[in-house]
Amino acid sequence: MKASNSFKETIKNHLEIVAKNDKLFAVTYAKENKNIDDCITYILNKVKSSGCNGFADDEIFGMAIHYYDEDDIKVGKAINAKVVVNHSQPKKVKKQTESVKVAKVKQSNPSLNQMELF
């Protein structure tokens, strides 16, 4: 199977988020007889058999979840296809420490109690 890495990562990231938020799906997602490559092959075969050229994200994500839910699902033969992902992949956010700059507060006229920053 030669789906784009972006497509594979998009599906994998979605499944990991669902598994993180749904304990029942987390058990399903961890099945030893299931893997992301077969999941992608299953999706590509379903798309090919439908005859449609475009799908909503939820339709594709639903196919991925269905693959993991069913134990006796037929994956189908590997398909060499070009997959177009129509949105950018969210980047993983790394913790960053921000340095905070403290501005000096100058009192312009002590009798007015007004302050100026910088």
Contacts of 87 (CB under 8 A, 6+ apart): 57
Residue ranges covered by each domain of the chain? 5-69
Report the share of the chain in percent with pLDDT over 90.
Answer: 51
Q: Above 50 in pLDDT, residue 99?
A: no
Contacts of 76 (CB under 8 A, 6+ apart): 41, 42, 44, 45
To the question of pTM greater than 0.75 for the whole model, the response is no
pLDDT value of position 93:
42
Provide the terminal-to-terminal Cα distance of the chain, rounded to the nearest Å.
60
Of all helices (H) and strands (E), which one includes residue 115?
Answer: strand 114-117
Spatial separation of the C-alpha atoms in residues 38 and 3, rounded to whole Å: 11
Contacts of 91 (CB under 8 A, 6+ apart): none
**pLDDT tens readout for residues 9-35:** 999 999 999 999 999 999 999 999 999
Confidence of residue 88 (pLDDT cuts 50, 70, 90): low
